[in-house]
Chains A and B, each alone.
Chain A
Amino acid sequence: MASDDSLPTLKILLIGPSGAGKSALLTRYCDDEFDPESSAATIGIDFKIKNLAVRGKAYRLTLFDTAGQERFRTLSTSFYRGAHGVLLVYDISSRASFLTMERWFDEAEANTVEGVALYLVGSKLDKAEHSREVSSEEGQALADAHGANFCEASAKTCENVRRPFVDIVDQIVQTPGLLAAARRGRAVGTLAVGGGGGDTGDGNGYLGCAC
């Protein structure tokens, strides 16, 4: 595969209410790990990177977690910038969790570019048998209402864990203009501020040589 830096980079966000299992899904997908005891808010994860090939073409996914800013709904507009896709995650064993999703859709739609790929995920599918509070049909209907795709998944059993990520990448690359729209401006005049780029300064532009 080509070196990482040359891959097209997709920015994908995971949003949704606290305790929906966003981080569990992310950690299972990226690291194939699941900690049944971990229910605390996520600390220390800015984003994870995963390379993925869909339809024979490789992409570099940057997967952004909410870093706890979903708790009091304080995600910033800058968090949403340049996003190609948004995974909206709720817990199928919590109706309260599902009921917040309309607002999360509103926020995602308001802060992203037109045509952004939206994908609704009902998590904790392993609880379906004993404590499901939201039917699969309800999830599908909400997704349909927002032009989103939908699936249910379990980070615990691994069922369907890869599917939302693969599907949303497919959705992104099948949407004409989305890659360019979300990247708008990154190509235009964006500077390399951290190391490299430019000379060492000292007024070189003005006074290159003694004269």
Chain B
Amino acid sequence: MAMDFSSELSDTLWDVVICGTGLPQSLLALSLSRSGKNILHIDSNDYYGSADAAFSLQEADDWVARHSTTAASSTSVFKSASITKPENVAGLSFPRAYTLALAPQLIHARSELLSQLVSSRAYRQVEFLAVGSFFVFKPSSSPALAPTLVRIPSTREDVFSTTAISAKAKRGLMKFLRFVVDYNNPLQTEAWQQHADVPLVDFLRAHFKMDAELQTYIITLTLSLDGRISTRDGLATIHRHLSSMGMLGPSFAAVYPKWGGISEIAQVSCRAGAVGGAVYMLGNGIKEMTTGENEISLELTSGDKVRTRRLVRGEETGGDEKAIARLVAIVNSPLKTLFETMVEGAPKPGVAVVAFPTGSLASAGEIDIDCPIYVFAHSGDTGECPVGQSVLYLTMLSSPDSKNILHRALESLLIALDGEQQRPESLYHLYYEQAGSSMKRQQDGLIFGFPPPSLSLSFDDATLGPVREAWKVVMGEAGADYMTFPDREGYVDDDEMYD
């Protein structure tokens, strides 16, 4: 019973063709998965996830080959990609033992993304791990000593029991935390609104008399790429962090989807789309497009010709904003000290965060960093590497020297973590740069375009707005409950015994 899929493709007038399988397009497929609409979902890549994808080492090789150019590209947000493997260090496992995420974003417990995954029932196919401790890298005070990592206290008890900060500083910190929890109260807004646009660090210094160390803790929690987040955005970010703390379990504020982060959510959402009847094609993009009054004719790179009422796609180029540089390193150690649970009953974290504050990477003859570096450490529990190894994702604002700087930071971090039997060593490095963009979502007649992916290190709920708008465009007046579905599975209760 061979079916002619090509004629099905061309004979159907599709309600929507979705192009690209990044998170926004995939969430759109999920949101439409019970709509009864005819949906064709394609991606020019032969993998799911677009800029949110996750790769085995083999797939990473292929991807790097296509994004190695150092010139800004008109077809991709990625460039300067390269892979290096240190010689004489054994221990790298087989390529499929790894899943390296292009978008290793943390998701705060209060994120609307989690609420939508729960209400749409897609969360059942995703496994979430806790994001545990945040650390700050402290350079050594003398050449004879190793640099250290200082853990940022994550609970009230923690603040009181820590020996890392003085009693006076603790009072200042608690005063600030109480302020943030209630910062939108009219009694509090007066204190900060006139400073809304100045950097949060300046506000912390002027209003809370915080010393540099405490300022660093607070900025680290914002994951601000330039370290100069405004008071307005900074307070909102810290508030999100604090109000997420404890929401899904003791002593953590954010979660991470196993097996590649956002990539996994994209894949599960596409599966939900397929279960709802959407047709999926990978390795197939749009070659030609003719827009009519009520429908669009597309010629796909496969040669198939399709007609659709709407086209939704993602913008995959950027460049008008600052870019980031990222170094992904596989390390031959479980780095246990990063993944300890600090509170009884807390889940074992799969992710830890280490920040190199501005100016913390001084070394002889080298220029110090003028923006922070953030390291997301993932344990083997994430499924992204074998148990006993770790994956480190180092991110900073891109500069001509960022590759060199990130390698220095990696080296310094491994020295700071050298407390276990064996000095941790890196086995594999993937480096790339990703362009940022301020482009907003676009609608042009029958075509809807999602903005390029956010460079934020924690998931930005602003990503979700355009998805809902696209859903409205496709659904028209019929749209009622957004992303709210009952479970699909039909339970079958009869039991059978075989011996």
A interface residues, Cβ below 8 angstroms from B: 1, 18-19, 30-31, 39, 41, 43-56, 58, 67-69, 71-72, 74, 76-79, 81, 91, 94, 96, 110-111, 162, 166, 184-186, 188-195, 197-208, 211
A49 and B347 CA atoms in complex are apart in Å by 29
B123 proximal to A (CB < 8 A):
yes
Give 1 or 0 for each of B466-499: 1 = CB within 8 Å of chain A CB: 0000000000000000000000111111111111
Q: B156 near A205 (CB under 8 angstroms)?
A: yes
Q: B255 near A91 (CB under 8 angstroms)?
A: no
Instruction: With both chains docked as a complex, state the minimum distance between the C-beta of B131 and any C-beta of chain A, in angstroms.
Output: 10
B57 proximal to A (CB < 8 A):
no
Instruction: With both chains docked as a complex, state the minimum distance between the C-beta of B429 and any C-beta of chain A, in angstroms.
Output: 23
Q: A58 near B275 (CB under 8 angstroms)?
A: no
Given contacts A46-B275, A68-B277, A110-B96, contact A207 B181 (CB under 8 A): yes
B285 proximal to A (CB < 8 A):
no
Interface residues of B in 394-438 (CB under 8 A from A): none
* A interface secondary structure, majority: loop
Q: Give the residue of B243, B381, B497 whose beta carbon is less than 8 angstroms from that of A201.
A: B243
Q: B248 near A45 (CB under 8 angstroms)?
A: no
A39 and B3 CA atoms in complex are apart in Å by 10
- Which residues of chain A have C-beta atoms less than 8 A from B178's C-beta? 207
Give 1 or 0 for each of B270-288: 1 = CB within 8 Å of chain A CB: 1110111101111010000
Q: A18 near B3 (CB under 8 angstroms)?
A: yes
- Which residues of chain A have C-beta atoms less than 8 A from B258's C-beta? 185, 190
B247 proximal to A (CB < 8 A):
yes
A197 and B270 CA atoms in complex are apart in Å by 27
Given contacts A44-B276, A68-B280, A198-B246, contact A188 B348 (CB under 8 A): yes
Task: Please give me the residue from chain A that is nearest to B239 by CB atom.
Answer: A203
Q: A53 near B255 (CB under 8 angstroms)?
A: no
- Which residues of chain B have C-beta atoms less than 8 A from A76's C-beta? 48, 267-268, 270-271
Q: Give the residue of B181, B347, B489 whose beta carbon is less than 8 angstroms from that of A47.
A: B489
- Which residues of chain B have C-beta atoms less than 8 A from A200's C-beta? 247
Q: A202 near B243 (CB under 8 angstroms)?
A: yes
B117 proximal to A (CB < 8 A):
yes
B interface residues, Cβ below 8 angstroms from A: 1-3, 5, 48, 96, 99, 109-110, 114, 117-118, 123-130, 154-156, 174, 177-178, 181, 242-251, 253, 255, 258-259, 264, 267-268, 270-272, 274-277, 279-282, 284, 347-350, 381-383, 387, 488-499
Task: Please give me the residue from chain A that is nearest to B263 by CB atom.
Answer: A78
Task: Please give me the residue from chain A that is nearest to B246 by CB atom.
Answer: A205
Instruction: With both chains docked as a complex, state the minimum distance between the C-beta of B124 and any C-beta of chain A, in angstroms.
Output: 7
List 29 A-B pairs, Cβ < 8 Å.
A44-B275, A46-B271, A49-B489, A51-B494, A53-B497, A54-B499, A72-B281, A74-B282, A76-B48, A78-B268, A185-B381, A189-B381, A191-B248, A193-B114, A193-B118, A194-B118, A197-B248, A198-B247, A198-B248, A198-B250, A201-B109, A203-B243, A204-B245, A205-B156, A205-B253, A206-B156, A206-B246, A207-B178, A211-B156
Task: Please give me the residue from chain A that is nearest to B488 by CB atom.
Answer: A46
Q: B498 near A54 (CB under 8 angstroms)?
A: yes
Q: Give the residue of A52, A162, A185, A201 whose beta carbon is less than 8 angstroms from that of B247.
A: A201
A44 and B276 CA atoms in complex are apart in Å by 5
Instruction: With both chains docked as a complex, state the minimum distance between the C-beta of B266 and any C-beta of chain A, in angstroms.
Output: 9
Q: B259 near A71 (CB under 8 angstroms)?
A: no
Q: B492 near A71 (CB under 8 angstroms)?
A: no
Q: B495 near A51 (CB under 8 angstroms)?
A: yes
Q: B118 near A44 (CB under 8 angstroms)?
A: no
Instruction: With both chains docked as a complex, state the minimum distance between the C-beta of B389 and any C-beta of chain A, in angstroms.
Output: 14
Instruction: With both chains docked as a complex, state the minimum distance between the C-beta of A82 and any C-beta of chain B, in angstroms.
Output: 9
Q: A201 near B267 (CB under 8 angstroms)?
A: no
A205 and B109 CA atoms in complex are apart in Å by 13
Q: A207 near B156 (CB under 8 angstroms)?
A: yes
Q: B274 near A67 (CB under 8 angstroms)?
A: yes
- Sample of 20 more A-B contacts, CB < 8 Å, known A19-B3, A79-B271: A43-B277, A44-B275, A47-B489, A51-B493, A69-B271, A72-B281, A72-B282, A76-B270, A77-B48, A78-B264, A91-B1, A188-B350, A191-B129, A191-B255, A198-B247, A199-B246, A202-B243, A205-B246, A206-B156, A206-B177
Q: A206 near B155 (CB under 8 angstroms)?
A: yes
Q: Give the residue of A39, A55, A110 whose beta carbon is less than 8 angstroms from that of B1.
A: A39
